[in-house]
Structure 1
């Protein structure tokens, strides 16, 4: 049609490398639907993408979360500054499955695991569950403010 703007009243173009929209799913539904490895973990990257990894930190599955789902992931915990404006739905499929190093969780050494286990046992003796721990704060910092 002559005179009609090319983008007026047309169907919006969908990027082929974007993930399917999961806005209507709860975070628990998304987690249940993700591929897993018995030795792996899942983690939310600073790009707003929830990924499941195998033990060697290869990405098994990835879902870009919307801002409400990101806040739900951090329910009751301080939201990292970079995630306050993150929207994982804007991350391409390729980037979801090939994340930057900052979005891949560290592989823990046996020493790291022993240290965490000892810390958790000490906290349990004090009657503190991990749900009440403050990420990024040492036990001494939390106790000095009490």
Structure 2
């Protein structure tokens, strides 16, 4: 019998192919492949006066220029700080044998996005046991505080 898997998100590998242009805005951080991945803040955009992007190291230093088509520039991912459960019921899909919990993912820049935390049955059992211990610890602390 063939293994059943959940539906996968669309393939985004085309977006990561070398040469895919990234057109940053002023103030964006970018990695410049032409400078061995050097990271810089975009301080000037291509225009009638300048035929290239101008970047500066985040802590200051000598500026450099990058191609105006953005072919050597790559966006830097914004780090995730944490995820919080949303006020929605978790669901279990018996056919896929997966549980799903809606969460909000928070980023270092203050942004956020909604996502699904997908758990196998073993992960559900593990987290159930961990949450039960946390609830017991909370109740014990509340009783001691009385």
Higher strand content, 1 or 2? 2
Higher helix content, 1 or 2? 1
**Greater RCO structure (CA 8 Å; 6+ sep):** 1
State whether TM-score is above 0.5. Answer: no
Report the TM-score when normalising by structure 2: 0.24
